[in-house]
A and B are shown apart, each in its own frame.
Chain A
Amino acid sequence: MSKAIWVICKKELQGFYTSPWFLFIFAVFNLLLCVRFLISLDEFIQRSMMPMGSGVNIHDALFIPHLNWVYMTFLILIPLMAMKLISEEKKERTMDLLLTSPISSMDIVLGKFLALWLVLISMLALAFLFPLTTSLVAKFDWGPLLGSYLGMIFLAGFNLSLCLFASSLTSSTVMSGFFGFLFILIMMIFGSSGVQSENMIVVAIFEQLSLGLHLRDFFLGTLNTKSFIFLITGIGFFCYTTYKMVENLRWK
Chain B
Amino acid sequence: MIHVQNLSKYYGSRAAIQNLNFTIHKGEVVGFLGPNGAGKTTTMKMLTGFMKPSAGKIEIAGFDVTKNPLEVKKKLGYLPETPPIYMDMTVKNYLNYVADLKAVPKKEKKQNIYATLESLKLADVKDRLIQNLSKGFRQRVGIAQALVSNPEVLVLDEPTVGLDPKQVAEFREIIKKLKGSHTIILSTHILQEVQASCERVIIINEGQIVAQNTIEALTQAVQKSNTQSEPNHQVRVYLKVSRPSDDFRSFLNSQSYISSIHFQGSQYEIQCENKEEHFETIVKNVMEQKLGFQEFRKEQLMLEDVFVKLTQNVPQEGVH
Contact = CB atoms under 8 A, between A and B. Distances in A.
Interface of A: 3-4, 7, 10-11, 14-15, 18-19, 92-104, 250-252
Contact of B80 (A10, A18, A93, A102): A93
A251 B84 contact: no
Given A4-B101, A92-B87, A100 B49 contact: yes
17 contacts: A4-B103, A7-B100, A7-B101, A11-B97, A18-B88, A19-B88, A93-B84, A94-B84, A97-B78, A97-B101, A98-B101, A99-B50, A100-B73, A100-B76, A101-B73, A101-B101, A102-B101
Given A4-B101, A97-B98, A250 B82 contact: no
A92 B100 contact: no
A65 B102 CA distance: 47
A251 B51 contact: yes
Interface string B46-63: 001111100000000000
Contact of A14 (B48, B93, B102, B145): B93
B46 to A, nearest CB: 11
Chain A CB count within 10 A is highest, among B50, B52, B71, for B50
A163 B86 CA distance: 22
Contacts of A95: 84
Chain A CB count within 10 A is highest, among B48, B71, B84, B87, for B84
Interface in B17-51: 48-51
Contacts of A102: 69-71, 73-74, 101-103
B241 interface: no
B85 interface: yes
B17 to A, nearest CB: 14
Contacts of B84: 92-97
By secondary structure, the A interface counts as helix
Interface string B66-109: 00011101101010101011111100010001101111000000
A94 B52 CA distance: 19
A250 B51 CA distance: 6
Report the 9 A-B pairs with minimum CB-CB distance, sorted nearest first. Answer: A97-B84, A102-B73, A101-B101, A93-B82, A7-B100, A94-B84, A96-B80, A251-B52, A102-B70
B200 to A, nearest CB: 24
A3 B103 contact: yes
Contacts of B76: 100
B80 A252 contact: no
A15 B90 CA distance: 11
Given A94-B85, A102-B71, 9 more contacts: A7-B100, A7-B101, A18-B88, A96-B80, A96-B84, A97-B145, A100-B49, A101-B98, A102-B70
A77 B71 CA distance: 39
A220 B84 CA distance: 49
A10 B88 CA distance: 15
A101 B50 CA distance: 9
Nearest to B94: A11
Nearest to B80: A96
Contact of B97 (A7, A250, A252): A7
Contact of B48 (A18, A100, A251): A100
B101 A92 contact: no
Contacts of B82: 92-93, 96
A250 B46 CA distance: 10
A92 B88 CA distance: 12
A252 B84 CA distance: 19
B101 A94 contact: no
Contacts of A96: 50, 78, 80, 82, 84
Contacts of A99: 50
B74 to A, nearest CB: 5
Contacts of B89: 15
A8 to B, nearest CB: 8
Nearest to A6: B100
Contacts of B85: 92, 94
Contacts of B88: 15, 18-19
Contacts of A251: 51-52
